Amino acid sequence: MSSIKIAAGLANAMSSSTAHNEHRVIVRYRADLTIAARPLAGKSPQQFSLIPAAAMRVTSDEIQHLAASTDVERVWLDLPVHTCLDVSAPSIHAPQVWQSSYTGHGVGIAVVDTGIDPGHPDFAGRVAAMEDFTGEGPHDNHGHGTHVAGIAAGDGTRYRGVAPGASLYVAKVLHSDGSGYMSEVIAGLDWAIQQDVRVINLSLGGVGPCDGTDALSTACDAAVDHGVLVCVAAGNFGPGASTVGPPGCARRPLTVGACTSQEEIAHFSARGPTADGRVKPDVLLPGVDIVSCRAQGTSMGSPIDALYTRASGTSMATPHASGLIALLLQAFPELSPDQVKQRIMDTAKDLGLEANAQGEGRADAYQAYVGTMPPSEPSPPPSGCLLSLVQLLRLQH
């Protein structure tokens, strides 16, 4: 009976090791069990509240002992995750939403990534909180998190993010090499939920295919249940089928693939279906040659100058969605995560691609804002945006 509780990937890892080899695992407990009553084992246990679970390093014998407990429902392997960076210029009509005075003001976006450069001028006064789950400190010594945050919410003179009025909550869960473990990401999700954010950005993931029952996807689904819409990257393992990895295969979040300026899917953007046959990604957004903020002292992407760098990947597409959601939540704060997700999908532009490549198509901020209303004649962007993410947000005529 206990073997049923051990996830397949962990069972395989155990079969190829000795009884005394250590494994990083995430243990899920009965929902009615208090944190104090959870059976723990091994080294460095870390408790979670978003889902009834804890992470620890244990031997194969200890795994069997845990799985035999009636208090334990599942034991997962604590899998590695990494930035979804590959190496955008299409428009999503965000400046038209800004002209209605919606910039994401009052909406909190949690960027769960490699940290942030809080001294970057494009974030001045809007980094509300920072927390480190890597032991390296919350500052971004990789560059990925700063770039992602800039796309979602940068407010610079030259380059402007999708929701330049939003507040940023930054959880550092990936190390200086851009990698980490699911348990560290879940800890970041736990923290973000406690900050009362409305949007969580996960520009990271593991290798597909997956069916959404892994620990991180389960935690992302739980975050949506808590009233927070999670945006997750589809991953960069395309163009083959069934290449969406965790947490892109989660059921409740918005999974984002990458498109080019010509409104074609980026070659690297992962495709569905999921291992259990569901369509993924949900939408596409710009993810090729995105110019955004550069963390001081880093060289991620192709640096333009001391403040900005250019990069590609589904990592870059995902914060477009997070910023778009912040605009919608400022305009319609009563919307639930499911309603926001559906609104974005319902108003996406069909690119005529197969569903497991494009989802519903390329998301559009203005169409999501107006909903079923017919679009008005496009207005020119505000003068301060002509060089801001015009490469990202250029109006189409």
- Residues marked as catalytic: 113, 144, 315
Gap between the Cα atoms of 153 and 231, Å rounded:
14
Burial of 51 (0-12, 13-18, 19+ CB in 10 A): buried
Gap between the Cα atoms of 318 and 363, Å rounded:
11
Nearest C-alpha neighbor of 210 from the set 272, 265, 285, 150: 272
DSSP string, 130-153: EEESSSS-SB-SSSHHHHHHHHHH
DSSP string, 169-187: EEEE-S-TTSEEEHHHHHH
Q: Across the beta sheet with 22-29, what order do the strands follow?
A: 43-48, 53-59, 22-29, 72-77
- The answer to whether 152 touches 109, Cβ cutoff 8 Å, is yes
Gap between the Cα atoms of 175 and 166, Å rounded:
25
DSSP code for 381:
P
Nearest C-alpha neighbor of 126 from the set 118, 134, 115: 118
Burial of 1 (0-12, 13-18, 19+ CB in 10 A): exposed
Structure tokens, 360: 């519903």
Phi-psi region of 12 (alpha: psi -120 to 50; beta: other; left: phi over 0): alpha
Summary count for the chain: helices (H), strands (E):
11, 17
Gap between the Cα atoms of 210 and 250, Å rounded:
9
